Amino acid sequence: MPKELIPLLKEPLLQFLLIGACIYGAYALFGAPDENASGRTIVIDEGRIGSLAAMWEQRWNRQPTKAELVGLVRAWLREDILYREALAMGLDADDHIIRRRLAQKLEFLTNDIAQMRQPDDAELEAYLTSNSQQFREPDRITFTHVFFSPDTRGEATLDDALNALRRLSSAGEPNADIAHEGDRFMLPSHFVRASALEIRRVLGSEFADSVLQMEPGQWHGPVRSGYGTHLVYVHAVDTAPPPELADVRDQVLNEWQRARAEEFDAEFLASLKSRYEIEIEAPRSFVEEVLRDDSDRQDVAIPDGVPAS
């Protein structure tokens, strides 16, 4: 190459022109669409314009002005032309973001189709009966506890609690005199109609699980929590009745629709799979795990940046 041309090739403008020429040359050679193809016609009908106006109104809580609507249509036209040309150039190939977005759009479409049919009360009653625990109100328990601090009592904590348990069991239902049996506690010592979740938030899961198994009308313990050791007297357990459809209809409908959408998605994907010959270069057990029925497994989301291929 002549030395005179080397400085010229370092000019940014010339480099830009050369790169542009390469891109358009590749497009003309590999990606130019058929000029007679029907895909060269762009139709922007009233429905499309109305949709653009509706999206604007949904975002800004007002209708677009004429100038704004013109801008929306121009932006849509520009995007559509660039989209078609990008497809013609094959720019969508092996792009995991585009793959994922199109797959999501198809999933949204199938979910909409699955939810078009509304169930009658008989179907909702049957679903409620099969899943009653999901909609049942939590049981509630009223109890009093006495706290024994390991920080204060050390290795004697458990023995002190057992000795106090014998005295309290003989005395029966707790009264104001029980305060001297234990140590000061910064949290409530008496709970009224508390749910399992409420007890867990205050005294931890281990304590809640133990208390919920106790018979009312007597002292129990020792029971451990994250704070130390407790003796517990259960006053009453209020067991929630089976749920009635009239009380939980909205929740049942939402869950019914979700379950139907999952079933529809699984059936739809199975029907699509049947159209393909699927080959996976991996051990047999791995392949079987990948291809087994979608209804009995949970899909794992593909992190951003990881090709979905």
pLDDT in tens, 62-71: 999 988 988 8
The arithmetic mean of pLDDT across residues 220-224, rounded, is: 93
Distance linking the first and last C-alpha atoms of the chain: 44
Eight-state DSSP code of residue 248: H
Closest CA to 164 of 225, 220, 224, 227: 220
pLDDT band per the 50, 70, 90 thresholds, residue 85: confident
Structure tokens at 68: 């704004």
| SS3 category, 154 | helix
Q: What pLDDT, on a 0 to 100 scale, did the predictor assign at position 20?
A: 56
Higher pLDDT among residues 22 and 108, named by residue: 108
DSSP state of 27: I
19-23, 121-125, 291-295: least confident range: 19-23
* Average confidence (pLDDT) over 197-224: 92
Confidence (pLDDT) at 198: 93
Look at residues 292, 291, 293 and name the one whose alpha carbon lies nearest to residue 279.
291
Question: Is the pLDDT reported for residue 18 higher than 90?
Answer: no
Question: What is the pTM assigned to this prediction?
Answer: 0.49
SS (H, E, C) 22-36: HHHHHHHHHHCCCCC
Q: Is the pLDDT of residue 305 over 50?
A: no
Tell me what the mean pLDDT of segment 132-150 comes to. 91
Say whether pLDDT at 51 is over 70. Answer: yes
The phi, psi pair for 50, rounded to 5°, reads -65, -35
Average pLDDT value for the chain? 80
